[in-house]
Amino acid sequence: MKLFGTGKIGKLEIKNRIIVAVNGIRGEADPDGSLSLRAIDRYVSYAKGGAGLITIGHIHVENDVENHLDGAWSNTPRIDSAVYIKRWSILADAVHDYGAKLSVQLSAGFGRMMYPDVLKKNKSPIAPSSQPCYWDPKITARELTIEEINKLVKAMGEAAARLKAAGVDAIELHGGAGHLIDQFLSGIWNKRKDEYGGDIKGRMRFALEIIDSIKAAAGDDFPVIIRHSLKNYREGGRDFEESLEMARCFEEAGIDAIHATAGCYEYRRYANPSTYQPAGSVVRMAELVKGAVSIPVITFGKLGNPELAEKVLCEGKADFIALARPFLADPEWPNKTRDGKWDDIRPCIGCHDGCLQRSLENKYVSCAVNPAAGMEKKLALKPAEKCKSVLVVGGGPGGMEAAIVAAYRGHKVTLLEKNAKLGGNLIPASAPEFKKDLRDLINYLSTQVAKLGVNVKFGVEANPELVEKMAPDAVIVATGADPIVPRIPGNDKSKVICAVDLLNSGKDIGQTAVIVGGGVVGCEAAAFLAGKGVQVTIVEMAAELASDLNVMNRNELMEMLAENNIRILTNTTVSEISEDGVIVIKKTGEKKELKADGVVTAVGLRPRDGLQKALTGKVAELYAVGDCVRPRKIMAAMWEGYRLARLI
């Protein structure tokens, strides 16, 4: 495979074409700012798993210009002093032991993207020129002074020199996603009238001075990569033509590789591809850069399918494949890909719940489908001290994960599933084509259940008598949840179907439909129907749709609804299901009828906890995981299944 051919970035030889992209750095530092040993464990697991180049970031180089509160970013590793070199050196040595190389992504700052509440008192966010702060437009991000620009440029070079001294092999500049360097490059954010603004030469000056500073401090032959956005996707922002001209200028300035991306915080589709986005949709950015420069080009964006990653390289669209979330999901991705064990690769599902969302919450970065991510040593699986018979009731994600972990540790596991196949509510959730990533998770979990010898009994609905007769040493109840039937007059009409049943059956409900409930399930059901040509209206009693969905996926979902011309009524309740449709009442008291051939209810789930309650006090070791405890996301079920089964 071309993935496993050697590659070069500048003079740096890399054993394969697989790069670990930046996948979050929050929670990776000790209180003094040193890279934590726990973080080192995480990145070493990627080297052990076969990665060629591992990138860590983004690391801030100073704390005077963009003045953070003391402790606000104390869980992010630092490199603004020589005292921090030691831990970086430990990591570099450990990574090198496995034949991998190490790069560190340096950031000049957030700029207008900085959270105002983590800045020191009376300090404002910074920017190339005065403009509203992204998070709070009432706050103005102030224009950087020439002195401050010089300070940042110098700090970038000094940081690179320290990292080189630590044994780090390359630097990546964070020049994309609307962060400070990207802000200088874009006329929409850079309105300066001095030498750092104006034409393309002026707007590039800050970035080019940083490159010169790094090369001067760390050596001309020290590899420098830049993450470069080809388009801001904002009116008045940078377009492809200008960005490709910048790419050529970066090559002339000594940049050794370009990591091609696009978008910004206002348009995250490419910077943070969501679960709804097609795989490989960012590759075209790399393809454009490949046509403009002669240095290596790196691409990323939902390339966790080995066949797709290989195809991108074979077609010459990029020189390296960068994976971020796929490594969180499975650090062994390269080795399993090389060895043809593709069915054993734990897939990223694009949910962002364990990684970026946790980072935004100031928690250590992990993964929804890999509970050990970020806690590789602490949550490592060990053989059971005593082999037990373990009964798992329910074959959804939580039940399967619990069965896999228990069997892996040496227990004798039986899994009872009332349906004809495993998956639970993942099955209807994966029905829309835009949610097919979940099918990969079902396939992975089902494969591991089979490979580990779990005794699966299909078509068996467990009851207390059956469980007592089987007499297991431990019982894990993972029976899931049932759709709530709303108490609305007329909900017994034949035109009414719950979203779960709709997604399971794909039933034709006519040309027009009303979705009762605008949570994630309701919105996805609406998009599913719209894709079939149905005219859809969503009725939601709250002020906004899918309020519990993280911002990355929610933005994409809302765009999908808009693109499909789905009508949205918020602050509105359904009071009755009529013969011709539904009667709705707005918060203002206005009442009207919406015509609809079909009505889909999506008002939540109720725990299926009867078995757990019936077995309480009758089974010595009784546990419950997932939605039967409380309906939540996939992450909760997977984490509970893993963490519980590792202790039995």
Please determine, for residue 221, whether its predicted confidence score (pLDDT) is greater than 90: yes
Last residue of a domain, one of 294, 324, 354: 324
Are both 506 and 538 inside the same structural domain?
yes
Are both 434 and 575 inside the same structural domain?
no
CB of 123 closer than 8 Å to CB of 65: no
Picking from 249-263, 358-372, 427-441, 566-580, which range would have the lowest pLDDT averaged per residue? 358-372
Looking at residue 70, what is its pLDDT?
A: 58
Please determine, for residue 204, whether its predicted confidence score (pLDDT) is greater than 90: yes
Kindly report whether the peptide bond that precedes residue 58 is cis, defined as omega within 30 degrees of 0. Answer: yes
Looking at residue 122, what is its pLDDT?
A: 74
Q: What is the mean pLDDT of the chain?
A: 96
Q: How confident is the model at residue 381 (pLDDT cuts 50, 70, 90)?
A: very high
In a domain, 47, yes or no: no
Looking at residue 27, what is its pLDDT?
A: 86
Are both 505 and 433 inside the same structural domain?
no
Q: How far apart are CA 221 and CA 218, in angstroms?
A: 8
Please determine, for residue 24, whether its predicted confidence score (pLDDT) is greater than 90: no
Are both 452 and 508 inside the same structural domain?
no
> CB within 8 A of 81, min separation 6: which ones?
162
CB of 109 closer than 8 Å to CB of 59: no
Looking at residue 390, what is its pLDDT?
A: 99
% of the chain with per-residue pLDDT over 70? 99
Please determine, for residue 140, whether its predicted confidence score (pLDDT) is greater than 70: yes
Of 218, 220, 240, 216, residue with least CA distance to 228: 240
Looking at residue 271, what is its pLDDT?
A: 82
The pLDDT tens digits of the residues spanning 298-345 come to: 999 999 999 999 999 999 999 999 999 999 999 999 999 999 999 999
Are both 631 and 618 inside the same structural domain?
yes
CB of 379 closer than 8 Å to CB of 616: no
In a domain, 383, yes or no: no
The owner of tokens 């990207």 is 182
> How many independent structural domains does the chain possess?
3
Residue 515 carries which side chain, given as an amino acid letter? I
Phi, psi of 548 (to 5 degrees): -95, 5
Looking at residue 532, what is its pLDDT?
A: 97
> CB within 8 A of 546, min separation 6: which ones?
518, 519, 520, 523, 554, 557, 558
In a domain, 46, yes or no: no
Q: How far apart are CA 143 and CA 280, in angstroms?
A: 37
CB of 404 closer than 8 Å to CB of 449: yes
In a domain, 6, yes or no: yes
Please determine, for residue 280, whether its predicted confidence score (pLDDT) is greater than 70: yes
Over residues 588-595, the mean pLDDT reads 95
Cα–Cα separations (whole angstroms), residue 264 to 56, 292, 502, 552: 20, 22, 36, 11
Phi, psi of 542 (to 5 degrees): -85, 180
Are both 511 and 636 inside the same structural domain?
no
Cα atoms in the Cβ-side hemisphere of radius 13 Å centred on 166: 30
Residue 153: count of CB within 10 angstroms of its CB: 22
The pLDDT tens digits of the residues spanning 548-565 come to: 999 989 999 999 999 999
CATH number at residue 620: 3.40.50.720
In a domain, 579, yes or no: yes
Please determine, for residue 203, whether its predicted confidence score (pLDDT) is greater than 80: yes
Q: Which helix (H) or strand (E) holds 214?
A: helix 200-218
CATH number at residue 557: 3.50.50.60
Please determine, for residue 157, whether its predicted confidence score (pLDDT) is greater than 60: yes
Over residues 31-40, the mean pLDDT reads 94
Q: How confident is the model at residue 115 (pLDDT cuts 50, 70, 90)?
A: confident
Are both 264 and 296 inside the same structural domain?
yes
Looking at residue 267, what is its pLDDT?
A: 85
What does the DSSP 8-state code read for residue 136? -
Q: How confident is the model at residue 74 (pLDDT cuts 50, 70, 90)?
A: low
Are both 622 and 570 inside the same structural domain?
no
Picking from 271-275, 329-333, 399-403, which range would have the lowest pLDDT averaged per residue? 271-275
Over residues 33-44, the mean pLDDT reads 96
Looking at residue 634, what is its pLDDT?
A: 98
Are both 317 and 211 inside the same structural domain?
yes
444-480 burial, b if ≥16 CB within 10 A, otherwise e? bbbebbeebebebeeeeebeeeebeeeebbbbbbbbb
Instruction: Please state the pTM of the whole predicted model.
Output: 0.96
Of 260, 348, 253, residue with least CA distance to 296: 260
CATH number at residue 292: 3.20.20.70
Please determine, for residue 73, whether its predicted confidence score (pLDDT) is greater than 60: no
Helices (H), 473-607: 499-505, 520-530, 551-563
Please determine, for residue 117, whether its predicted confidence score (pLDDT) is greater than 80: no
In a domain, 356, yes or no: no
Cα atoms in the Cβ-side hemisphere of radius 13 Å centred on 206: 33
In a domain, 491, yes or no: no
CA dihedral 301, 307, 309, 312 (to 10 degrees): -110
Residue 12 structural domain: 2-41+52-324
Last residue of a domain, one of 277, 307, 324: 324
Are both 425 and 294 inside the same structural domain?
no
Last residue of a domain, one of 324, 339, 366: 324
Are both 577 and 593 inside the same structural domain?
yes
In a domain, 622, yes or no: yes
Paired with 264 in beta bridges are 267
Are both 627 and 599 inside the same structural domain?
no
